[in-house]
Each structure stands twice: as C-alpha cells, then as structure tokens.
Amino acid sequence: MLTKSQGSASVDYEEGVWVHRVDIRHHPLPDISPIAPLDVPGHIWSYTQTMLEEVRAIDARRTVDLVYCPLWDCEPLGFVVDGSFPLIVALQTTMKFWLESQPLKAADRDWMAMYGHPIVAIEEYILERAPLLHSISRAIARDIRAQYKATLPDSKVHYAPLCLEDWSAGMPPPVARSRKTRLLFVGRLESRKGIDVLLDAIPEVLAQFPTAILDIVGDDTIPKADGTTYKVEFLKQDMPTAVRSRIVFHGRADEQQLRKFYRDCDIFVAPSRYESFGLVFLEALMFGKPVIGCDAGGGPEVVTDGETGLLIAPGDVAGLQAALTNLLSDPKRRRKMGIAARADYERRFTVQSLVSDLTNMIDTHFGPSDKVIAS
C-alpha cells in the first residue's frame, strides 16, 4: 500500500500489509500534456509520477501484478500514461461533484483555470483509458456517466460496495448515563453534507424532546460563500438556552473518539445532499444504530429505508424533522432498526465481502493474482 508520508518516508509491515509512506518528489511536467491544450497541475504530476516510480522500484524486486488507485486526486494519471501495469480505478467523488459544495472555488476563475478545469480534464482522460473501473456504488457510476464526457461501458465498470473492519469489536459498553437520547452527526460542516438542513431542523425538534441531545462531530471551520461558517452563523441565532445547550459542536475527532461517539449515540443523522457511497452510514450501521439520511447518491444503497433507517429528500427540513420525531418518539422502532442495521453490516459490508468481490473482479479480468498494490 502506497501513501503520502506525513513526516519522513518509511516502509512498515502493518497487519499483513507492507505500507510505503512516500515523500513526494518534484517531477518536471511532460513536454506534451496528456490533456493538451491544458497543463497538468504540477503537484498532481509530481504526486502521480512519484507513486509510479515507487511501484517500478517494487516491481524490480517482486513482480507487481496489478495497481489499484482511487480516482480522487488523479492518482491513476501516471499509470494510465505509462501503461506498464494492469490498473483498476475506483470511482469516488470527483472534482465536479466536490465543486458543488465549494461555491468560493467554483467562482474563482483563476483557481478554476489553474486547477479545477485541468483536474476535470484529467479525470475524463483517466476514465476513458482505465481498463477496469471499480464503482463503490451504482449511483456514482450513473452520475459520472451523466456529468462527464468519457464513455463508461458496462463491460469495464464493476460494482462492489465499500467495507469497514468492525470498529465495535472489543469496545467496552458505554458508561451508564442519565436518560438522554443522543443524536449524532459526523461530517464536514458544509452544504454538501446537509449541515444547514440539520441546523434548520433541530431547534424545533429539541424543543419538543427535552431529553434529546445533538452531538456534531467534524470540521466546523469550512467557510461558506459569504466567508462565515455554519457554526458561527448558527450560534448567532436567538434561541432558548435549554435548546442551545443541547447542541454541541465538537469539531474534529480522532478515530478512537469517533468510535465512542458512534457507540454512545441512539440515532445517527447525516442529511447529505450527495454521497458517492456514504461511509458514515456504514459506520453507524456497524454500531447497530438507526440512520437518517437522504434518498440521493449512494445513500439508498447503504441505508434500507424503513428497515435500517429513514431516507428523506435532500434539503427537506420538514422531512428531516418528521424523521427525527418518528425515531425519538418510538424507542422500540429505533432499537429494531438498530438490530437490522448491525445484521445488514455483517451481511453486506464486512472486509470479507469486499475481498470476495474484488477477488472475483480481478480473477475475471486479469487472471489469478495475490500481489495487488494500492496506490
């Protein structure tokens, strides 16, 4: 497994995997840009060429049979241009979809000329030429087909949902607490994640349910188009102290803290306007929590409406209030959904499930292999 180093470069053997933490080295741009007349952003080219060099070095010692790269950050570019290694590209959130929640970037003509437009062009270049595409949801393949010029024939697009190791395994039970019902939101505080919808909906709900508490976990420093943040804007509002005190902004959390938030919550809510898959939904299912999400993107492929959670229309404040009220007022229903959520995780989203899906994909298209490099 290859990744950027956060300090010094290293190679470590971790849980059965060789992890190469690589220092990104400068590489001059090619004489002819693969996306001419646009130029490849320098940091993108240096990154992908450094990873290509690292794979070549590994291959010189032990044959590399296959390279697996996410589309994000244009990681596969160097491998597509080089063409030496069989390649799988994972379809995830793309620049076009990211820009939908970044109005300041989308309106910045200089930034779009230097980075936005070239990266979209690189994504199209990769999509057109990659021999095999791993679609983490059917929605992301469908939406990329609609938004990008590249053709994605069914023969090279294969669906396999993401997975997670079981974070809940071995965790101690939550500390006994007073009879509170905890709602949990996890995600960046930006429009795409629907935080504005949640903050519009929650005061009325908490006023109706005086024992309910909302924990908001995630980066709350992201500026909106007007330069302020959702947190700052919300805290300026006039509302009863009894309500405000039960809406807690925690900011970013490390993985251990995040696991405790999931363990301790009663209802998970993330009204994202779009998720290419929705790992936060999967994290909640793993802990046996009912999920409230949106009927958009990959959400309906992770959350089964009426069984493991409730799905609302994107941007629907009244719909979110109704869903929250439904689960807050019906402990038996949310417990039943929680049991179904955990069972669904065990059935569809374990590491073993993804390994089986990817192994079948690889064996079908490239022949049997036990040496996969994830770049």
Q: Name the token pair of 75.
A: 């990681």
Between 339 and 101, residue with greater pLDDT: 339
The domain tally of the chain equals 2
What average pLDDT does range 293-314 have in this prediction? 96
Can you give the CATH number for the domain in which 324 is found? 3.40.50.2000
Same domain, 87 and 10: yes
Same domain, 190 and 332: yes
What average pLDDT does range 271-281 have in this prediction? 93
Report yes or no on 21 lying in a domain.
Answer: yes
Same domain, 41 and 140: yes
pLDDT in tens, 129-174: 999 999 999 999 999 999 998 888 988 999 999 899 999 988 888 8
- 33 pLDDT above the threshold of 80: yes
Report yes or no on 176 lying in a domain.
Answer: no
Same domain, 236 and 323: yes
Report yes or no on 169 lying in a domain.
Answer: no
What average pLDDT does range 21-43 have in this prediction? 95
pTM: 0.86
Q: Residue 369 — very low, low, confident or very high, per pLDDT cuts 50/70/90? A: low
Report yes or no on 248 lying in a domain.
Answer: yes
Report yes or no on 259 lying in a domain.
Answer: yes
- 366 pLDDT above the threshold of 80: no
**54 Cβ contact partners less than 8 Å away, ≥ 6 residues apart:** 2, 20, 22, 375
Across the beta sheet with 2-4, the strand order is 2-4, 17-22, 10-14
Same domain, 222 and 356: no
pLDDT in tens, 174-227: 876 668 999 999 999 999 999 999 999 999 999 999 999 999 999 999 988 788
- Angle of helix 42-61 versus helix 117-129 axis, rounded to 10: 30
pLDDT in tens, 331-362: 999 999 999 999 999 999 988 888 888 888 88
Same domain, 330 and 357: no
- 116 pLDDT above the threshold of 60: yes
Same domain, 134 and 158: yes
Residue-range definition of the domain harbouring residue 40: 2-163+352-374
Contact by Cβ (8 Å): 77, 34: yes
pLDDT of amino acid 177: 65
- 312 pLDDT above the threshold of 60: yes
Report yes or no on 314 lying in a domain.
Answer: yes
Same domain, 156 and 9: yes
pLDDT of amino acid 359: 84
pLDDT of amino acid 139: 93
What average pLDDT does range 69-84 have in this prediction? 94
pLDDT of amino acid 373: 55
Distances (CA, A) of 163 to 77, 170, 220, 268: 25, 19, 27, 18
Same domain, 309 and 359: no
**150 Cβ contact partners less than 8 Å away, ≥ 6 residues apart:** 123, 124, 125, 127, 128, 144
CB atoms within 10 A of CB 133: 23
pLDDT of amino acid 84: 93
Same domain, 356 and 344: no
Same domain, 63 and 159: yes
Same domain, 217 and 143: no
Report yes or no on 174 lying in a domain.
Answer: no
Report yes or no on 94 lying in a domain.
Answer: yes
